Amino acid sequence: MAQTKILIDTNSYFRLAQNLHPLLKTAFGKADYTLYAHKDLNWELKNVARLKSKLQWVSEAQYVENRNRSPSIKKEQYAEIDDAYDYMWEHAKDEFHKERGKGPGDTDTLILATALVLDIYVVTDDQDMLEMANTFEVKHMSSIELMKLMADEDHIDMDMVKQVVQQWQFDGETPNRNWEKQYRNTFETAPPKFQ
């Protein structure tokens, strides 16, 4: 069976990879769901000082090795991704950056363009990315929805889900201000509290 590829954005990777290792390239479920990071994730890790200092675990060999492969892209798809990126980046600059002073960055936009062209899901909790994904009809799910899929496919259990959520709270890295409501709606129970 062919893989069902899923692309994960930078922030969702950081929220999940430490506790759900190996997060990437490990097929799970009936549809062989397989998570990949975009190749630009490694560029961000090397070049964004805030990420390097805050997330030192990402430079450990086991995580570096797990990120060493991105989804395969056919030659003709690169041009489509470039075209989609150009259009989406102009939209991000006009609708987000000029209007709000912030919005999806160039790597976020490239991740969305790649997911659009490959017709695969992208995992993100970034509200601006979600808004842009909706605008361009990019398939998407949140970190919480991904964990629900993993639990439904017996890849992880609820104890692991709770561990991840408690880690978010401990680190002060919850996905967004509505994450508790989303957790309750997704898992039909209150989220665990970090003690």
Higher model confidence: residue 137 or residue 63? 137
Greater confidence (125 vs 194) lies with 125
**Band of the pLDDT at 59, cuts 50, 70, 90?**
confident
Query: What is the mean predicted confidence (pLDDT) over 122-145?
Result: 97
d(CA 119, CA 73): 12
pLDDT of 133 above 70? yes
Mean pLDDT of 129-143: 97
Do 194 and 171 contact (CB within 8 A), yes or no?
A: no
**Is this structure's pTM higher than 0.85?**
yes
pLDDT at 48: 67
Cβ contact 144:186 at 8 Å: yes
